[in-house]
């Protein structure tokens, strides 16, 4: 997701089981009520994962880099990825979706991680003009 790398755009890329692409300004809807429960991790929380409940099947809609509409239907891992990345664009980390007991354990493990409390990386902005393109 763009915000994870300091880019203030509502876009994410994905590469799951041979299916890859990107979505700009995405939304998603579940297909049916079936859920999945399994391990989930995140680049924002390196080296740690916990079981998280997600919808098993989703359809996501957005646009490609040319402004053309894109629809992606995913199940299992792709559905989890779509939900996870759109959560990032909405300012939600997957630990916010954990059940209370698991979230409490997750927060303790995060605080105990070697990287916890390390200085926040500095995001540098290009000194070159962008000529109206995304920053």
**CA distance between the termini of the chain:** 15
Closest to 35 in 3D by CA, of 78, 94, 73, 80: 80
Q: State the pairing for strand pair 19-30/11-16.
A: antiparallel
Catalytic residues: 85
Torsion of CA 51, 106, 98, 122, to 10 degrees: -100
Are residues 2 and 12 in contact, defined by beta-carbon separation less than 8 angstroms?
yes
């Amino acid at each position: 997701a763009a915000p994870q790398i300091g880019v203030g755009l509502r876009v994410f890329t994905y590469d799951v089981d041979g299916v890859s692409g990107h979505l700009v300004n995405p939304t998603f809807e579940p297909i049916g009520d079936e859920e999945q429960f399994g391990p989930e991790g995140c680049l924002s929380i390196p080296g740690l994962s916990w079981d998280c409940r997600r919808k098993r099947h989703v359809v996501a809609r957005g646009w490609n880099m040319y402004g053309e509409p894109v629809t992606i239907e995913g199940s299992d891992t792709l559905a989890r990825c779509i939900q996870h990345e759109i959560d990032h664009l909405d300012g939600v980390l997957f630990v916010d979706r954990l059940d209370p007991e698991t979230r409490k354990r997750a927060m303790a493990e995060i605080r105990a991680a070697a990287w916890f409390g390390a200085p926040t990386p500095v995001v540098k902005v290009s000194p070159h003009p962008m000529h109206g393109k995304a920053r």
